[in-house]
Amino acid sequence: MVPYGEWFNSAVYTCQVTHIGNIRSKNVTALQEDAECHANTVKILPPPGEKVSLEATVRLTCVVSNLPSGVNVTWTQEKKRLKSEIADQPGQNPNSVISKLDISTEAWLSGCTFECVVYHQNLPTPLRYSIHKDER
């Protein structure tokens, strides 16, 4: 068993197997394993249905997971940059960020497209995800 603190402290571990005179080894680190097991994910959560029918404004939430600190999130509406609120998700995953955007219910109901854009130094290009109200 590998201690939690050592695993996430860039330690390198080697697994070595010997079988009938052949020796095989593989080095692993937390960063390598995390990249293989946990892809960067971005989810945009729509406003709750009951709020849409009762409130003048509703909230979109962009949840970014599995990126180290230093994430920057912006929102756009039809390619126009909007102001948003960013908060780390306390007590859960330290590699997650939540960005919230309050919009008018009218804009949501009209089918406008909103885009969550995620920037980070480890990403070759920003991650872009969009949401709009379904026509249903």
pLDDT score recorded for residue 29: 63
Identify the DSSP state of 66: S
Side-chain-facing half-sphere of 18: CA atoms under 13 Å: 1
Average pLDDT over residues 70-91: 79
pLDDT score recorded for residue 8: 54
**What's CA 30's distance to the chain center, in Å?**
19
What topology is assigned to 39-131 in CATH? Immunoglobulin-like (2.60.40)
CB 111 within 8 A of CB 82: no
Average pLDDT over residues 68-80: 86
> Comparing 25-29, 61-65, 70-74, which segment has the lowest mean pLDDT?
25-29
pLDDT score recorded for residue 75: 94
| For the chain, domain boundaries | 4-36, 39-131
pLDDT tens, 18-43? Answer: 878 778 877 776 654 444 445 668 89
pLDDT score recorded for residue 120: 86
Banded model confidence at residue 110, pLDDT cuts 50, 70, 90: very high
Q: Which residues contact 121 (CB under 8 A, 6 or more apart)?
A: 70
CB 101 within 8 A of CB 57: no
